[in-house]
């Protein structure tokens, strides 16, 4: 850390036993002017923490705002950046942050950053939300609320402009740890309950309680609180949108998604361009077999959808919308249009691995194996011999058509040549299953190692182990 007068103070509240606290502190020490660590209830400094950080013992009064406001008074920087234990910035984003601070030093300006958490098992990607995390050292800027504390009110009241920055604060795997999620849920139920008694009904608190009860596995109570949030949240607000998101997750599972579709339609009447709602509606319509409506909904999502960054949302929504649109087109027998739609994606989407792999699938089904090989090679960065990839793709194409014997020849040749891409492992395992091969279970387990979050791999492992009913291999496509 620099010995000069600090320009940027990183502030963090923690107990000494927080997972990855030392990692966050060491990462911030590379670029922060100073680090001020508020140790709640005087907890110990974690092992491995960098030298030179300032620690401030704080008493915990069941109030995050109180603790943050007290800690902010100890900072000496001209800008204050709030981080949580386990959060880090990439070196590139840290450098951009320092440049921004140098350019705006002395100005009454705050900044919001994207907070991103990792994907939960089976999820297509992680989630993110935009929050004000960077503040000028202005004593009048205060946090409000015991839990889900906010700054949105204070900047407006004190003539401080808020600028959104395209910088990402990443959270670690502990964010989706089941035990920590439950502990956090119990804490938030307690704090939100105290604040409700003190300040009365508020959508922010009802959403907090809805999320907390979901974390505790009580979907009924969670749904009740999200509905209470819907009843009082201002029209068009992020609180109202979050309540719709939450309420959708509390509805009982239904193969046809009737109740989900009805609630999503109600939400879309108020937020007609919300990208996450449009993607959800497209999926619900597809589940009902309403192919044309699903395609049109996904098309609207791609063409007109907008992301509400102030509510938690899937981090790769634009890409997921385009992938959903391509699937809907294919289900209508419009595979070549699906390919064209993917190829028309902007570069940041077109070069993403999920889109490349989707193109591989589509080209396999249209019989263009050379194009499939090219996209697969681009997806994995040329890490596998091209001839081995070609064999894997040819085997997959034959298996798609039900020609399992020649398919196996190509897939085994690719495997013997060292190809361990998931396309090869998936089809090799499925072909072995179709042929009742004794090695099918081992092949499925190897596929599962490469794709640990694959629900499809889990399903076929259960089938191979005799604990689920067989299904046509074609469904796996």
pLDDT of residue 155: 81
Predicted confidence (pLDDT) at residue 398 exceeds the cutoff of 90 = yes
- Closest of 39, 47, 41, 42 to residue 19, by C-alpha: 47
Q: 192-211, pLDDT tens digit by residue?
A: 999 999 999 999 999 999 99
Predicted confidence (pLDDT) at residue 138 exceeds the cutoff of 60 = yes
Predicted confidence (pLDDT) at residue 435 exceeds the cutoff of 90 = yes
pLDDT of residue 44: 79
pLDDT of residue 4: 52
For residue 303, count CB atoms less than 10 angstroms from its CB and return exposed for 0-12, middle for 13-18, buried for 19 or more: exposed
Report d(CA 336, CA 344) in Å as an integer. Answer: 12
Longest dimension (CA), the chain: 74
pLDDT of residue 455: 83
pLDDT of residue 157: 82
Contact 134, 113 (CB under 8 A): yes
Instruction: Give the confidence band of 361 by pLDDT, cuts at 50, 70, 90.
Output: very high
- Contact residues for 3 (Cβ-Cβ < 8 A; gap 6+): none
pLDDT of residue 476: 40
Contact 239, 310 (CB under 8 A): no
What mean pLDDT value characterizes the chain?
Answer: 92
Q: Contacts from 130-135 at CB under 8 Å and sequence distance 24+?
A: 130/164, 130/309, 130/310, 132/162, 133/81, 133/82, 133/83, 133/169, 134/79, 134/80, 134/81, 134/82, 134/97, 134/101, 134/110, 134/165, 135/79, 135/80, 135/82, 135/110, 135/160
Q: Residue 173 carries which DSSP code?
A: G
Instruction: Give the confidence band of 21 by pLDDT, cuts at 50, 70, 90.
Output: very high
Contact 18, 184 (CB under 8 A): no
Predicted confidence (pLDDT) at residue 123 exceeds the cutoff of 70 = yes
What residues form DSSP beta bridges with 83? 12
Contact 163, 111 (CB under 8 A): yes
- Closest of 79, 74, 72, 143 to residue 110, by C-alpha: 79
Neighbour count for residue 33 (Cβ, 10 Å): 22
Contact 18, 85 (CB under 8 A): yes
The stretch 59-74 carries a mean pLDDT of 96
The stretch 304-327 carries a mean pLDDT of 97
Report d(CA 48, CA 358) in Å as an integer. Answer: 44
Tell me the whole-structure pTM to 2 decimals. 0.91
The stretch 111-116 carries a mean pLDDT of 98
Report d(CA 355, CA 319) in Å as an integer. Answer: 8
Does residue 18 come out as left (phi exceeding 0), alpha (psi in the -120 to 50 range) or beta?
beta
Q: 201-217 as b/e, with b when 16 or more CB fall inside 10 Å?
A: ebbbbbbbbbbbbbbbe
- Contact residues for 47 (Cβ-Cβ < 8 A; gap 6+): 22
Predicted confidence (pLDDT) at residue 122 exceeds the cutoff of 80 = no
Predicted confidence (pLDDT) at residue 368 exceeds the cutoff of 70 = yes
Instruction: Give the confidence band of 474 by pLDDT, cuts at 50, 70, 90.
Output: very low
């Amino acid at each position: 850390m620099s010995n000069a007068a600090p320009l940027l103070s990183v502030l963090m509240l923690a107990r000494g036993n927080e997972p990855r606290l030392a990692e966050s502190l060491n990462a911030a020490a590379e670029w922060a002017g100073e680090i001020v660590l508020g140790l709640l209830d005087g907890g110990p400094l974690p092992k491995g923490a960098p030298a030179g950080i300032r620690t401030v013992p704080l008493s915990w009064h069941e109030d995050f705002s109180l603790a943050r406001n007290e800690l902010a008074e100890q900072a000496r920087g001209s800008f204050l950046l709030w981080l949580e234990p386990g959060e880090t910035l990439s070196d590139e984003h840290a450098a951009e942050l320092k440049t921004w601070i140098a350019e705006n030093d002395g100005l009454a300006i705050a900044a919001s950053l994207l907070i991103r958490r990792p994907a939960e098992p089976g999820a297509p990607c992680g989630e993110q939300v935009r929050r004000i995390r960077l503040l000028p050292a202005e004593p009048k800027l205060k946090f409000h609320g015991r839990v889900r504390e906010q700054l949105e009110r204070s900047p407006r009241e004190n003539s401080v402009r808020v600028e959104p920055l395209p910088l990402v604060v990443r959270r670690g795997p502990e964010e989706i740890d089941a035990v920590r999620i439950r502990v956090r849920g119990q804490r938030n139920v307690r704090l939100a309950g105290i604040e409700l008694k003190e300040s009365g009904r508020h959508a922010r608190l009802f959403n907090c309680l809805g999320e907390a009860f979901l974390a505790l596995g009580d979907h009924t109570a969670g749904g009740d609180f999200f509905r209470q949030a819907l009843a009082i949240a201002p029209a068009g607000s992020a609180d109202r949108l979050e309540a719709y998101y939450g309420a959708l997750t509390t509805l009982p599972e239904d193969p046809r998604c009737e109740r989900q579709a009805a609630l999503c339609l109600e939400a879309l009447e108020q937020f007609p361009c919300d990208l996450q709602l449009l993607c959800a509606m497209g999926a619900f319509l597809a589940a009902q077999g309403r192919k044309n409506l699903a395609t049109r909904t996904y098309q609207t999502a791609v063409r007109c959808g907008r992301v509400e960054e102030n509510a938690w949302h899937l981090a790769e929504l634009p890409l997921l919308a385009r992938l959903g649109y391509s699937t809907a087109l294919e289900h209508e027998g419009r595979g070549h249009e699906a390919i064209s739609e993917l190829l028309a994606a902007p570069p940041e989407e077109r070069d993403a691995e999920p889109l490349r792999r989707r193109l591989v699938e589509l080209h396999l089904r249209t019989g263009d194996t050379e194009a499939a090989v090219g996209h697969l090679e681009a997806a994995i960065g040329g890490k596998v011999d091209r001839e081995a990839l070609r064999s894997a793709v040819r085997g997959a194409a034959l298996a798609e058509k039900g020609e399992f014997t020649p398919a196996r020849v190509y897939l085994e040749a690719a495997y013997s040549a060292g190809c361990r891409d998931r396309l090869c492992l998936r089809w090799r395992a499925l072909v072995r299953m179709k042929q009742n091969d004794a090695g099918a279970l081992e092949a499925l387990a190897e596929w599962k190692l490469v794709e640990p979050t694959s629900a499809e791999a889990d399903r076929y492992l259960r089938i191979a182990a005799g604990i689920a009913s067989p299904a046509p291999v074609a469904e796996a496509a």
